[in-house]
Amino acid sequence: LAGLALNVRFDDAFVAYLNGEEIARSGAVGDTDWNTTAAWQSEGGFGEFEIELYAHLLKQGANVLAIQLLNVAADDDDLFLQVALLAGSRAAEGTLALNATTGSWNLAGGTILGGTIVGSDGQSLLTSDGSFGTLDGVTLATDVAISDSYSLFVRNNLALSDSELTLAHADDVQGWNNVDFGLRGRIVGSGTVLLTTNNLGYYGSLSATELTIDPEVEIRGTGSISTTSLVNRGTIISDVPLAAINVHGETFTNSGTMIARAGSSFYLDTDVVLTSESTLISEIEGTEPDDFGNFGITSDIQFDGTLAIDAINGFTPDVGYSFMPIMMSSGSGSFAAVNGGSLAFSVAIGANDVTVERTAGLMLFGAGGATSTASEVAAGDLAIIVESAIERWWEEGRLTAEQRTMLQALSFSIVDFGASSQLAMARGGGIVIDNDAAGAGWYVDRTPLADEEFSTIGNRVVANAGSAAVERVDLLSAVMHELAHWLGAEHSDNPADLMFESLAAGERKTAWPEELDGVFQSWQ
């Protein structure tokens, strides 16, 4: 015998006996008689009792399970009882193969202990409304749909093997369904848990005291996750428009990926910790309030990791457009990286919200250099390049004294923009430079006031063959592009211009933007 458990739904209290010996109780205090009342009211109460230590009470042949059900008062007008005694043996590495010969199996109660469930010929594991069953250390290698008002209990982890577990809800049918992982649960392997809802508002939920989601597991749809402690190392996707995935509990630690599709939401009623491996993705497809994915946090959030903005369906927000994908009660820390793909965004973390703004950032053109070995630029090297960039224009007579002073006062910082192709951007009171030129690596010119490493070919200035600048992005060009933004220059449509929106490895652009000539006169 591998296990013995008693599952009871009751209103208001009960005492259970196996072959005349008490094995479990809830809401009943002291000795009980025929007219004893419950100690408290418990409408729709549920208890799951591990009673393996009473297994010796079982005997060959008939066994008697007796339940004494108690109401909270003599005049109480409702009474409810649903009970199951679950016992089984574990087959080592066993396989339950459901096919055309066996047909589908209905888990209307009891426990499947260990092994792997495999389905073929359209056959699978079925469930029935209003009932419950247990998977104990089971691997699902077939898709399983849980019916509308079914409760599935999982013990000793749930393993998915390229399969999908769906908490299904048919329209016009009342009933909640749930997967209960008990005190400590884990979803391992690779596969999907799909949470659904219907037109009456009934939805599926996952619950546990502690629940961990492994890296190759995906949870998506709309529904609820209720735990004391939730750890996500996989992917959670809210992808139902005008609906949300709700997370309730005390702590939620995200080291995986959370994706809020355009028009969908996360409602996080818990303290949230984003680790350095965390990625939050907000999709955006327009300028209306329901056109972007958002995250709402009722408590505190600790920021770290990456915030990614994914513009979809051909939408490109204008420079200056801003929105708030995150609202919170309070927050601390900051995102280590912001990834906008081919677009540049700035992020401002306020007291109760996170504002994202489309900026005129400089992007990497083409594939660039070796993404895994590119060295990071040093702060001292950046300072020399900035000073040289300003001096080049000063020596050319392009800057007024006031402009020169203004540019020298700008702050420069080095950050990791993550997996995006962003090289640099103007933000706050200065300029932000990616640490490794979007993986291509920076070319730091040791003689930045001269261009001997480059030659003019047509209307472009490119690195000489064999030069260290050939496969690297010219830091001087990137800095001068952002300095020109501070002087008032906008992006150009000409790929040869300094103000073109992207910069390729192996090219130099330092020419003064002609549009600034009028600005220069205004500073005289």
Measured CA distances, 394 to 400, 405, 449 (Å): 8, 11, 12
Q: Which of 169, 168, 224, 221 is nearest to 198 (CA)?
A: 169
Dihedral (C-alpha) 301, 303, 305, 306: value to the nearest 10 degrees? 90
Give the residues across from 165 on adjacent strands: 144, 193
- Is residue 478 packed enough to be buried (19+ CB in 10 Å), middle (13-18) or exposed (0-12)? buried
End-to-end CA distance of the chain: 93
Residue 454's pLDDT is 96
Q: Which of 44-48, 96-100, 194-198, 355-359 has the highest mean pLDDT?
A: 194-198
* Sequence-ordered list of residues with C-beta below 8 angstroms from that of 466, at least 6 positions apart, any chain: none
What is the pLDDT at residue 428? 64
Q: pLDDT tens, 146-204?
A: 998 888 999 989 999 999 999 998 899 888 899 999 888 999 999 999 999 999 999 99
Instruction: Give pLDDT, residue 370.
Output: 41
Mean pLDDT for 83-101 is 76
Other CB atoms closer than 10 Å to residue 42's CB: what's the count? 19
For position 47, what pLDDT does the model report?
Answer: 77
Report pLDDT for 93: 59
- SS3 readout for 102-118: CCCEECCCCEEECCEEE
pLDDT at 143: 94
Average pLDDT, the chain: 90
Tell me the pLDDT band of 42, cut-offs 50, 70 and 90.
confident
Work out the pLDDT band at 368, boundaries 50, 70, 90: very low
Give the confidence band of 22 by pLDDT, cuts at 50, 70, 90: very high
- Give the tens place of pLDDT for each residue, 434-461: 999 999 999 999 999 999 999 999 999 9
Cα-Cα-Cα-Cα dihedral of 268, 273, 276, 280, to 10°?
10
Mean pLDDT (whole number) for 23-40? 92
What is the structure's pLDDT at 509? 96
Comparing 374 with 108, the larger pLDDT belongs to 108
Does 81 score more than 80 pLDDT? yes
User: How much of the chain exceeds pLDDT 90, in percent?
Assistant: 64
pLDDT, tens digit, 9 for 90 and up, residues 132-156 = 889 999 999 999 999 988 889 999 8
What pLDDT was estimated at residue 371?
A: 46
Beta strand pairing call for 223-232 and 244-254? parallel
Going by C-beta distance under 8 Å and a sequence separation of 6 or more, which residues neighbour residue 462? 454, 455, 506, 507, 508
**pLDDT exceeds cutoff 50 at 521:** no
